[in-house]
Amino acid sequence: MQDWQSIVDKHGPMVWKIAYRLLADYQDAQDCFQETFVAALKLSASQPVRNFHAVLARIASARAIDRLRRRYRREPDGSAGLEDLASTHAGPDERASSAELAERLRRALAQLPPQEAEIFCLRCLNDLSYRHIAAMTGMKSSTVGQRFTGQSSDFGRSFKDRRRSPKRR
């Protein structure tokens, strides 16, 4: 029998970081946090879990991405759940730019196929190696790398600098 309180104590901050970083909404992150641990509890009842850190990171990323998809289906303008993630020491222009970039990231993640979004989150937000991601997902490391680099070029198009030329007077 697992000591779930110690698992939550040990891995809870990591799960919260993933959920809040992706969702930028306190209530959604709380729901995702709870859903992650409930899913892990169910999983551990059906099979042994050797690496709770990896399992929880994967579940939290998947649950957060699912919430993003539902959010953008409900709110096409993306107005739901936005909070300024920029540093409080940054100026207004920097905070606005950071918030816009974070929102574009959330929208782009919501458009990716689930497995590709998960690979992106595990690699870029959780800083896991291709080898670790492969072990978590049951893919080969080379497949993870190919999917990551293939999607990041598509993903990169979402973040092209859209500067407009200055208006002439």
Per-residue pLDDT tens, the chain, 169 aa: give them: 678 999 999 999 999 999 998 898 899 999 999 999 999 999 999 999 888 998 999 899 989 988 888 887 765 544 433 343 344 455 677 767 777 877 888 888 888 888 888 888 888 877 788 888 888 788 898 888 888 877 555 555 554 443 333 444 4
Separation between Cα atoms, residue 153 and residue 74, nearest integer Å:
27
Q: Which of 28, 35, 31 minimizes the C-alpha distance to 59?
A: 35
CA-angle at 20, arms to 104 and 89, nearest 5°: 75
| Tally: H helices and E strands in the chain | 7, 0
Structure letter (DSSP) for residue 123: I
Separation between Cα atoms, residue 51 and residue 43, nearest integer Å:
12
Entry pTM:
0.63
From residue 115, give the alpha-carbon distance in Å to each of 7, 54, 74, 137, 157. Answer: 26, 15, 22, 9, 19
Domains of the chain: 4-76+92-157 (1.20.140.160)
Separation between Cα atoms, residue 23 and residue 26, nearest integer Å:
8
From residue 13, give the alpha-carbon distance in Å to each of 7, 8, 57, 164. Answer: 11, 8, 11, 41
